[in-house]
Amino acid sequence: MSEDVCYCCGWSYYNLNNHFQQSPICLFPEFSDRQEELLKGLTMGDGSITRSRESGNFRMTIISVNEVWLRWIYAQFGDRLATEPTLAQDGETAGEQARQYESFDDSGGDWEYSDVYEVAIRSHPRLTEMRETWYPHGDIRFPDDLSLTPALAKTWYGSDGGLSWSDGTPHMNVGTWNESHRPEFLLDLFREHGFEPTYSEPLIRLFGDDRDQFLDWIAPAPAGFEYKWETESREHYDALKEGVA
């Protein structure tokens, strides 16, 4: 087990969470307002707030095959609040495990599995509070007082959104699987800021000027997902996407 260095006292500890809880001097580093919004968007998307032990504060883990995206997330929080991305599972191992299931279907040829990476936001009292707010009965539920901000929408769209191309003109969509029973609540999140979305379970969609204005509002694109902002050229979109695949 590796040790982490406390930003306050400079000593190394196997468990910084315990150190911050027990120290009368060294306190948990605080999240900035922007970082709080990024956390909310990640909670709506790829982020999972869990506890690694029965006691102690909660942490957030984000798992993706897009290592560049995870490194962007790490850079937004820094070493005090996050751990560097690591390889969670290599593609070869993932393929071997998948083939063990009786339901595995190889009729279309052999599947190619990608390496999977993980980044973590360190255990923190604020994440424990978010767990209580966002998982009131064990399953995630978006808070009733939720409001979109550019930072929140950026990580939500990065996690669960994308462009769908049809006849050379893409529309933007973002997935809302866990909130599909509250479509008006979801639509109002966008209407509040002047956008006119449509809803077709489980996707919220924006077209034309609404799409462009929304993407401008949450720009710039995070590293690894630049292709999700490319609406002018399908060829350029495909090239950007292939570059991080």
Query: What confidence score (pLDDT) does residue 109 get?
Result: 56
d(CA 237, CA 126): 37
Top-confidence range, 13-22, 99-108, 169-178? 169-178
CA distances from 128 to 22, 34, 70, 105, 134 (A): 17, 18, 22, 40, 10
Query: What confidence score (pLDDT) does residue 127 get?
Result: 97
CB 163 within 8 A of CB 237: yes
CB 87 within 8 A of CB 117: yes
* Mean pLDDT value across residues 90-104: 76
Q: Which amino acid, one-letter code, is at 68?
A: V
For 108, other C-beta atoms within 10 Å of its C-beta total: 6
What does the pLDDT look like over 37-78, one tens digit per residue?
999 999 999 999 998 776 689 999 999 999 999 999 999 999
Query: What confidence score (pLDDT) does residue 107 get?
Result: 61
Query: What confidence score (pLDDT) does residue 72 get?
Result: 98
CATH topology of domain 31-134: Endonuclease I-creI (3.10.28)
Structure tokens at 70: 């995870």
pLDDT for residue 95 is more than 90: no
More confident residue, 90 or 41: 41
Q: What residues form DSSP beta bridges with 60?
A: 49, 121
3-state secondary structure 162-225: EEEEECCEEEEEEECHHHCCCHHHHHHHHHCCCCCCEEECCEEEECHHHHHHHHHHHCCCCCCC
CATH topology of domain 150-244: Endonuclease I-creI (3.10.28)
CB 221 within 8 A of CB 228: yes
Q: Where in the chain is the domain with CATH 3.10.28?
A: 31-134, 150-244
CA distances from 77 to 32, 35, 228 (A): 9, 7, 22
Query: Which H/E stretch holds residue 49?
Result: strand 47-50
Residue 170: which pLDDT band, with cuts at 50, 70 and 90? very high
| 89 CB burial (10 A radius; 0-12, 13-18, 19+) | middle
pLDDT for residue 241 is more than 60: yes
d(CA 213, CA 208): 9
pLDDT for residue 105 is more than 70: no
d(CA 228, CA 209): 16
- Alpha helices (H) along 23-167: 33-44, 67-81, 91-98, 125-134, 150-160
Structure tokens at 139: 């399953």
pLDDT for residue 112 is more than 80: no
pLDDT for residue 97 is more than 80: no
